[in-house]
Amino acid sequence: MKKLTKEEVDKSLQIINNWELIDNSIQKKFTFKDFNEAMKTINQIAEIANELNHHPEWFNVYNKLEIKLTTHDVNGLSKIDFKFAKKVDSLTQKF
């Protein structure tokens, strides 16, 4: 796995929806209808994490979720971060 260049990151940002580039990571915030909907989605995202063997940093309070993706092994972003983000986008289109 290799760290993406600035140009590769910029290009990859175009294929995901509303993720922010912050300090060598991509981040996104979600607001759900209620706690149950948030937890259901978090569990589905956990399945993605296990499938890709790539685990996000996240923070959840009631119906809010913040996800931060970065590849610690390369000290920055790699293709797996964007693959993960794209799968999360597919799962959370309505939020």
Strand partners, 68: 27, 57
- Provide the residue range defining the domain that includes 42: 6-91
Residue 47 lies in a domain: yes
Q: Give the CATH number for residue 76.
A: 3.30.1360.20
Choose among 49, 53, 61, 50: nearest CA to 85. 49
**What pLDDT score does 20 carry?**
97
Task: Quote the pLDDT of residue 95.
Answer: 59
Domain total in the chain = 1
- Three-state DSSP state, 8: helix
Q: Is residue 16 part of a domain?
A: yes
Tell me, yes or no, whether 69 lies in a domain: yes
Helix residue ranges per DSSP H, the chain: 6-13, 35-52, 79-91
Residue 54 lies in a domain: yes
* Inter-CA distances, 55 with 2, 7, 28, 31, 70, Å: 17, 24, 15, 20, 9
Six-digit token string for 64: 């809010």
Question: Percentage of residues in the chain with pLDDT exceeding 90?
Answer: 95
pTM assigned to the model: 0.93
Angle (nearest 5°) at CA 21 between 19 and 23: 140
Q: Which residue has the higher pLDDT, 94 or 53?
A: 53
Residue 1 placed within a domain: no
Is 37 contained in some domain?
Answer: yes
Q: What number is the average pLDDT over the span 11-37?
A: 96
